[in-house]
Homo-oligomer: A and B are copies of this chain.
Amino acid sequence: MPHEQIEASAGPAAASPWDDVAVRLRAGGLRWTPQRRTLIEVLREHEGHVTASELIARCKELDGTTTPSTVYRALDLLEELGLVKHGHGHDGREEYHILPQQVHGHLYCVGCGSTWEIRPETAAVIVDALASQLGFAVDLSHVTISGLCAGCHD
């Protein structure tokens, strides 16, 4: 497969945020390892929300030697780089937002199990209320708020 490198580096291209992870890591004295490579590969396949378990499972498919603790640690790292953002589902389990564009809160209906993202306008009301009344800077994206959706109550 000659010319592979030439092709890969041809053109400015649609730069993906994943492309320079190796560089960013090394710039900080950190290392670009096969385990991290695999995780990035998996993350490239996803959008939106994914469970930590799902990510680990997929990594294991690509590399049978995958270890959970290594994946968790790599995810922590990528979160510091701003490439993923974790939150907690209604039961406390971790969920990851891949390439979080705009942070958003989550709703979970205990009646039917549906989930929704909280729209920016609605989120703003919540954020503003806590900011103005308590000076508290909410990270809405970290939690899933439970309750009953319109279809499930009354």
A residues neighboring B (CB under 8 Å): 88, 90-94, 107, 109-110, 116, 118-119, 121-122, 125-126, 129-130, 133-140, 142-150, 153
Chain B residues lying within 8 Å of A110, measured Cβ to Cβ, are: 139
A122 touches B116 (CB 8 A): no
Chain B residues lying within 8 Å of A133, measured Cβ to Cβ, are: 119, 121-122, 125
**What is the chain B residue whose CB lies nearest that of A148?**
B137
Chain B residues lying within 8 Å of A121, measured Cβ to Cβ, are: 133
With A92-B88, A92-B93 as contacts: A130 and B149 at CB distance below 8 Å = no
Some 6 contacts from A to B, beta carbons below 8 A apart, are: A107-B130, A107-B134, A122-B129, A125-B133, A136-B147, A139-B148
How far, in whole Å, are A94 and B143 apart by their CA atoms in the complex? 14
How far, in whole Å, are A116 and B136 apart by their CA atoms in the complex? 10
B92 touches A142 (CB 8 A): no
Q: Closest approach, in angstroms, between the C-beta of A93 and any C-beta of chain B? A: 7
CB < 8 Å neighbour of A130 from B91, B122, B143 = B122
